[in-house]
Structure formats: C-alpha cells, structure tokens
Amino acid sequence: MCGILAVLGCADWSQAKRARVLACSRRLKHRGPDWSRLYQCEGNFLAQQRLAIVSPLSGDQPLYNEDQTVIVVANGEIYNHKKIRKQFASKHTFSTGSDCEVIIPLYEEYGENFVDMLDGVFAFVLYDTRTKTYMAARDAIGVNPLYIGKGSDGAVWISSEMKALNEDCVKFEIFPPGHLYSSAAGGLRRWYNPHWFAEKVPATPYQPLVLREAFEKAVIKRLMTDVPFGVLLSGGLDSSIVASVTKRHLIETEAAEKFGTELHSFVVGLEDSPDLKAAREVADYLGTIHHEFHFTVQDGIDAIEEVIYHDETYDVTTIRASTPMFLMARKIKALGVKMVLSGEGSDELLGGYLYFHFAPNKEEFHKETCRKVKALHQYDCLRANKATSAWGLEVRVPFLDKEFINVAMSMDPEWKLYNPDLGRIEKWAMRKAFDDEEQPYLPKHILYRQKEQFSDGVGYNWIDGLKAFTEQQVSDEMMQNAAKVYPYNTPINKEAYYYRMIFERLFPQESARETVPWGPSIACSTPAAIEWVEQWKASNDPSGRLIASHNSASANGHGNGNGNGVVVANGTNGAAANGTANGKMEE
C-alpha cells in the first residue's frame, strides 16, 4: 500500500502552498515509508508516499510518459501489468518496473475509458499537462481507500486517507468504489457495472470446480511480489483456504525463485483464544513457518486511540476487529515482511455470517449479499487496509478478485443457503469446492469449522474487556445526553460513545462524521436484514455471539432444535440475562 495526495486547480502556486501540500502528504507516510516525492505544475500538485512491493529499485513515483506530459500517482497492484506491457511494447517506452506505469499507455490509447481493463486494486490520479485536465479512479469494490474534497479556493483534493485533507477542505467525502472522476466531464461516473449490481437473483447452477479454479487464479496472481510475504491465518475457513492454495501453488511462482517455497503464516489472539489453537493446527497441517502473536486486553485498550486515528471510523465492529489486526501488523512488519494475503470478502459474497441462517428465502439472501459487497469499502476493506498500512504492511484479498466476484455472485443463491437438513452450513459452496478427497486442501474438521467474527475469534474476553472498560469511561448521564451531544449517528451504548468521543477529537469536521456508516446490526448484518427476525430489533450489540446458532452463544439462549436460536441484547453492554429465542423466554 502507498499513500497518494493530489491537490488540483489551486489558485495559490506559492512555495508556502507547496510546503502545505508536502505537510499534508507526510500524514500518509505510514502507508509508504520507502520513498516520497511531490510533482507540481502551476496550481496542481501530485504527491506519493511509497511502499515498495513490486520493482522496489525502479518504481518510484510520480510516474510519467516519455515527454512527461502525463503524470500519475497511484496506490495499487495491477496484476495484469505484464500482459499490458507486452501490448504496448512497440508504442510506449517504459521507464520503471512499476506495475502501475501501465496506466499511462492505457490512458494515451483509450482516453479515460480504460479503467475496466485493469485487473487489480487501485486508487490513482492522472494529470495531463497538454489539456490541463485530470482524472482519478478507485477499484471496483474499494479495497484501496480514497477520499475527495473541495478546498475553499475551489481546488479538488484527493487523498488515500481523510487525515491528509480534512483540515484543508470545506467539504469532503468517500470517493465511491468503482467510479472515476473526470475534470473534463465535470464529475464522477461509474466504470464498474457488474450484473449483480441490479440485485436480480441469478440462476447459474453451482459448479464447484469453476468456483475453485477462479479462487486459485485469484490467489496465484496476488503472489506478484519482489519482497518477502506471508499469509494471515486465523484457522477459520477463509484464511485457511487462502493459506492452503498459496502453499500449494507457491512453487510455480516467481516469488518462489526469489524467496523460496517456505510460507510464513501469522495469527494474533489472547492466550488460549479459539484462533490460536485453530491456526496452529492448520499451520502444522500445511507445514508453514508459523508465527503466533499474543496480546492482552490492556494492550488492545491502550491502542484504541491509534486505531481510530488510522481507521478513521467510529464503527464499533470495525474498531473491535481492527485493534488485534493493528497490533499484529506491527509485529509482522518487524520481521521484515511487507505483504500478506488475507481472507476478507468471503462472508459477504457467500453469506457466511451467522445471521444469514435466518434469511427468509433465497431472494432476500442474495439481496443482502449484494448490499454487503457494496458496503465492504466502509467496513472490512477499510479495516484490513488501514489497520495494516498503519505500519507499512500491505494486505491482499483474493476473495475480492473481480473475476472471482463474478463467479460467486452469478451462482444461484439456493446453493449458498444454510440448510441443516441437507448438511449445508454457512459457505457450504466454498467448503464443498475445496473438499478434495484425493488431494485434500484442509482436514475435514477445519474445512467445516463454524464462522467466527475476527474480534470474537481472537478471544471472547477481548469484547467483554472492551465493554467493561468503556462502561467505566462513560457515565449514565453522558448516555442520557448522547442525542444532544451527538445528534448525528447518536451512539446507542457506552462502547460506541467512547469511540465517538475519540473520533470527534481527532476528526471534528461534519464531513468526517458523515463518512462513517451507521444503523442497527446483528452479527455484521445490514439494517435491512434486522427485519428478518423480530427479536433482533431489540439488540444494540453487533457481536456474532448474539446468534444462538453459534457454538459459544449464551447458555441462556436456546435454539429451535437445529441451532437456529436468537439471543438478544437488551442492555448497553451485551446480552440480556435471559435470552429471547423463538418468541419465548427461556429459563
């Protein structure tokens, strides 16, 4: 990951303005500690803080065409860059080994209509001195963060993170995924228009080998690296499949020629947490060089303010899950590793969260997966990217490969539904695709391990400790006045109030608070899915433990015989003493 900042159309070209842009760009240095540079043409500034992953010796930015009339700053990984280089070998003289340099010949050949030709994740700004126009674009799902704002002089600011522009813009917002901004056309337009965006229920039959092959290709292309790398391994389905596929195909890659075929895996958790045990077992099975990092509840609490600063959110679930990841990223970077693969995106594409068990039909199930994927840039993508780039570590997410998304979202959702009568648990389609009797990817009990939310899997005491701590920091009187103090997205419990206090101190602008999504949630659901079960409307805790189909749900909440119970939180700090299940109070 890198950090980019562009300020375009400034009325002020002075040295003082240049110094200000430099100062703002340096707020992104954590994202790119390896190199930085600022380009200026009159009142247009393009800056980049580089994390060197591909071509570390020759890929410094900004990037230019032959006569330096087209300039690009980018935060991206373009996995098909070698194919594009061959396409333009006779037309364009490449001056670096950067995968992002291919943006320039594509622009010169196709104008602004080339973004869908890029296979990868990216956020970039391109300035054309010949026409004095510029464009910016963000990847399909929003894996890489980007913000856009307006200065008081009318200048357009575009930045990888909010902290580089919030003080200099009168208004700013999230740059939407799958969009490009064109100064020539005068605004944003969508470049990514997949079939599933209309939320029409697909009818393509389940083809396990097609799903498997699409995912394996997604993993293999993400092994494009010139620096040491590893995998994040919690021991759950998603990270375990990523690790297994990586281990299986690593020997075929150029990365193996540079760094060997040994694969490093990493996990974080409290002592004796579920993830530590499961990850150790998977690592032993795959034969990875495994690194286990422990943290305490106090370590996490002490890091909360830094996490909110880097994540730029006050969303409770995001902060809970980001904190262990933030602590782990620091340890990984200290080992000399600069890139890791991770399992984000699977639950959204395949309906892996436990609340999907309660989808009333396949139509509602599919619509919810569409809503979840569209919102990933505000939740898991934001968490995975920012919590790790805080320490100059890059995370790659093969589940969010554009082609894999097309395959997963084209599948008839009937095959994704939870159906215990047919032996189908959550993400059964993915589990079955990798259930190979002859050449097993994983042991059966790991392949069919139940979903854990990351913040729960690192240790249940982590959530309980956060609640106990914030209970002491926020008084009842403060909660009674919450709507007056925070009329926008009013915190509904003490944990949320505590995070909001920190956020407002760091990012006091109205535009900043408007970048954070809000609304009721159960086990990571969207607000729309709350309507599936009447009892969920009483909950104010997003933890997956509130779904009684979870193996570790409260002993007071009882299911309906096949694991489909509901435990509802009625207080500000967790589940009520007696869980409500199936409309009846259980003793």
Cα dist. 201→208, 351, 418 in Å?
A: 19, 14, 17
Token representation of residue 1: 């990951």
| Strand ranges for 59-99 from DSSP E | 63-64, 70-78
Q: What angle do CA 365, 366, 369 make, to 5 degrees?
A: 90
Which residues sit opposite 231 in a β-bridge? 265, 341
Strand arrangement, sheet containing 179-182 = 63-64, 70-78, 120-128, 133-138, 179-182, 187-190
| 106: enclosing H helix or E strand | helix 103-110
Q: Annotated catalytic, 2?
A: yes
Q: Which of 2, 24, 370, 524 is catalytic?
A: 2
Beta-carbon contacts of residue 36 (< 8 Å; ≥ 6 apart):
25, 26, 29, 47, 48, 49, 50
Beta-carbon contacts of residue 308 (< 8 Å; ≥ 6 apart):
314, 319, 499, 502, 503, 506
Token representation of residue 563: 């694991």
Residue from 100, 121, 116, 345 nearest 215 by CA: 345
Q: Which DSSP state fits 453?
A: -
DSSP string for residues in 555-585: TT---SSSS--B----BTTB--SS-EETTEE
Which amino acid makes up residue 539?
Answer: S
Is the backbone peptide bond immediately before 62 cis, with ω within 30 degrees of 0?
yes
SS3 105: helix
Q: Which DSSP state fits 111?
A: T
SS3 156: strand
Contact of 270 with 461, CB cutoff 8 Å: yes
d(CA 509, CA 166): 7
d(CA 508, CA 543): 28
Beta-carbon contacts of residue 269 (< 8 Å; ≥ 6 apart):
275, 276, 292, 293, 294, 295, 324, 457, 458, 459
Q: Which DSSP state fits 417?
A: S
Contact of 304 with 499, CB cutoff 8 Å: yes
Contact of 39 with 71, CB cutoff 8 Å: yes
Token representation of residue 124: 């970039």
By annotation, the residues acting in catalysis are 2
